[in-house]
């Protein structure tokens, strides 16, 4: 209050004295009085607020100090009562399914459990059985997703899963497991090794077969389709062996023909080795064999199959190309000689045609087919 009175007095006297000294107008003195009074009020209010804040802080500090002194001299709080230790039961090795049929895991460990209770005052007669069942159910969900060969990884996942307490299906116990072990029997390990070996061998066999099939397809459908493609393929193996490749064209032609079950193209037969070139006699023999001949030019016996399917295994040996032709002494073969001579004339082999006429006794005047003569005779007889 003293500060308010002193400030008010100063705000009134100072403008009046100064105004009288300098002869200010009355309204100027009044304005100066109002300004000084307002400034004095603002200063007084701020000082009061600061004083109040200091008082509040001092009071808080005093209370905190008193509370600290009280805590230091008060006795420590009593610890909460210790909870009952969990019950435990050991599990002997139990078979758990794996991701492979008939290859189980062997699981064992220690099961811990705490009674939860459910209903109104109702308890289970065998809470240990509930705990073991709950642990085995959770373990089965883990093991059936892992391969027996991954028993180490499966054991880590299983220990992490079973180490977390969880209630059973009836919410009667809270169960978990420690010191878990997951193994695979020796007989099952041997079986897995055999299966793995067979699987790897089968994969290799399949790859080999596919590779062989690919090579056969490549050679049969792209490389050996013609002599030209075969030569190009052979030259691509080593482009520096041009002369050697040229010398092998006959052999490559024979290879291409064999791959396609065909004869060597006539344009390349002269490039075959001497002992593989077909002679004219061999060509005639092949032609005669197609028409039922019984032997080749070397006199070797040939089995002949006639149109009825009968096999003649007693064919006579052929000692010369003439033995392949019908005998000239038979009068029924004159017509054959006539046709043979005409065929040779058509192919511009007049010398051979003359020999055929001489062999079968065909004269120049024999220009008409005997069968045509017989037909004319029958016609005349019919007219008669």
The count of C-alpha atoms lying within 13 angstroms of the C-alpha of 118, restricted to the half-sphere facing its C-beta, is 12
- Domain boundaries of the chain, sorted by first residue: 2-69, 87-184, 224-276, 278-322, 325-384
Cβ-contact 299, 259 below 8 angstroms: no
Q: For 252-263, what is each residue's pLDDT tens digit?
A: 888 888 888 888
Q: What does the mean pLDDT of the chain come to?
A: 77
**pLDDT, average across residues 249-273:** 83
CB 207 within 8 A of CB 214: no
Q: What b/e sequence results for 350-369 when a residue is b if at least 16 CB atoms lie within 10 Å of its CB, and e otherwise?
A: eeebeebbebbebeeebeee
pLDDT digits (tens, 9 = 90+) for 282-309: 444 444 444 444 444 444 444 444 434 4
- 116 pLDDT above the threshold of 60: yes
Packed helices 249-259 and 227-237: angle between N→C axes, nearest 10 degrees: 120
pLDDT value, residue 313: 45
Q: Which residues contact 149 (CB under 8 A, 6 or more apart)?
A: 192, 196
For the residues 321-328, what does the mean pLDDT come to? 66
Weakest mean pLDDT among 22-31, 76-85, 179-188, 352-361 = 76-85
Confidence of residue 58 (pLDDT cuts 50, 70, 90): confident
Lowest mean pLDDT among 69-73, 236-240, 324-328: 324-328
- Name the percent of the chain lying above pLDDT 70: 74
Instruction: State the pLDDT at residue 325.
Output: 73
Which residues is 173 bridged to in the sheet?
115
- Measuring CA to CA, which residue among 94, 111, 88 is closest to residue 178? 111
Q: Three-class SS of residue 176? A: strand
What does the pLDDT read at residue 379? 43
User: Is 357:337 a contact under the CB 8 Å cutoff?
Assistant: yes
% pLDDT > 90, the chain: 23
Q: Which stretch of 58-62, 121-125, 136-140, 362-366 has the lowest confidence by average pLDDT?
A: 362-366
d(CA 333, CA 359): 10
Is the model's pLDDT at 121 over the cut of 50?
no
Can you tell me whether residue 166 is helix, strand or coil?
strand
Whether the CB-CB separation of 106 and 95 falls below 8 Å is answered with: yes
* Tens digits of residue pLDDT in 338-375: 788 888 888 878 888 888 887 777 765 454 444 444 44
- Whole-Å CA distances, 186 to 99, 142, 191, 292, 359: 18, 22, 9, 73, 93
Q: How many residues does the chain have?
A: 384
Which residue would you say has higher pLDDT here, 110 or 35?
A: 110
Q: Tokens 């200063």 appear where?
A: 43
**Cβ distance 324 to 285 under 8 Å?**
yes
pLDDT band at residue 157 using 50, 70 and 90 as cut-offs: very high
pLDDT for residue 141: 93
- One DSSP character per residue, 66-125 reads HHHHHHHHSPPPPPPPPPPPPEEEEEEEEEE--SSTT--EEEEEEEEEEE--BTTTB--S
Closest to 88 in 3D by CA, of 115, 111, 114, 107: 111
| Backbone φ, ψ for residue 145 (5° rounding) | -100, -5
Nearest to 108 by CA among 126, 120, 96: 96
User: What is the value of pTM for the model shown?
Assistant: 0.41
Protein fold of 87-184: Tetrahydropterin Synthase; Chain A (3.30.479)
Summarize the confidence of residues 38-67 as an average pLDDT: 82
| pLDDT at position 106 over 90 | yes
Q: Residue 214: which pLDDT band, with cuts at 50, 70 and 90? A: very high
Question: Residue written as tokens 């199959």?
Answer: 305
User: Collapsing DSSP states into helix, strand and coil, what is residue 136?
Assistant: helix
- pLDDT-wise least confident of 21-25, 65-69, 85-89, 110-114: 21-25
CB 329 within 8 A of CB 339: no
Segment 42-68 mean pLDDT: 82
What pLDDT does residue 136 have? 95
């Amino acid at each position: 209050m003293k500060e308010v009175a002193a400030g008010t007095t100063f705000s009134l006297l100072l403008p009046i004295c100064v105004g009288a000294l300098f002869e200010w107008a009355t309204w100027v003195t009044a304005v100066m009085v109002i300004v000084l009074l307002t400034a004095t009020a603002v200063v007084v209010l701020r000082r009061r607020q600061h004083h109040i804040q200091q008082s509040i802080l001092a009071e808080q500090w005093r209370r905190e100090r008193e509370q600290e002194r009280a805590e230091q001299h008060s006795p420590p709080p009593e610890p909460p009562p210790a909870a009952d230790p969990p019950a435990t039961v050991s599990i002997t090795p139990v078979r758990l399914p794996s991701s492979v049929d008939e290859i189980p895991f062997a699981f064992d460990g220690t099961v811990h459990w705490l009674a939860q209770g459910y209903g109104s005052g109702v308890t289970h007669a065998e809470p240990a059985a509930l705990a073991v069942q709950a642990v085995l159910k959770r373990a089965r969900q883990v093991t059936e997703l892992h391969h027996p060969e991954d028993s180490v990884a499966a054991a880590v996942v299983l220990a992490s899963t079973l180490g977390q307490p969880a209630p059973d299906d009836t919410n009667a116990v809270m169960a978990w497991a420690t010191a878990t072990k997951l193994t695979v029997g020796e007989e099952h390990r041997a079986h897995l090794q055999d299966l793995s070996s067979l699987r790897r061998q089968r994969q290799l066999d399949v790859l080999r077969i596919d590779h062989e099939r690919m090579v056969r397809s490549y050679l049969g459908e792209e490389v050996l389709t013609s002599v030209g493609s075969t030569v190009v393929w052979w030259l691509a193996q080593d482009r520096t062996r041009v002369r050697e490749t040229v010398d092998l064209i006959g052999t490559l032609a024979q290879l291409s023909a064999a791959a396609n079950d065909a004869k060597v193209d006539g344009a390349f037969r002269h490039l075959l080795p001497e002992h593989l070139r077909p002679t004219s006699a061999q060509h005639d023999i092949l032609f005669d064999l197609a028409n039922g001949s019984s032997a080749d030019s070397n006199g070797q016996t040939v089995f002949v199959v006639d149109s009825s399917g009968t096999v003649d295994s007693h064919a006579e040996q052929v000692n010369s190309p003439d033995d392949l032709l019908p005998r000239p002494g038979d009068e029924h073969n004159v017509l054959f000689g006539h046709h043979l001579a005409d065929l040779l004339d058509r192919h511009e082999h007049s010398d051979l045609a003359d020999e055929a006429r001489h062999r079968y006794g065909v004269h120049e005047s024999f220009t008409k087919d005997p069968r045509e003569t017989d037909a004319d005779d029958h016609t005349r007889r019919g007219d008669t």
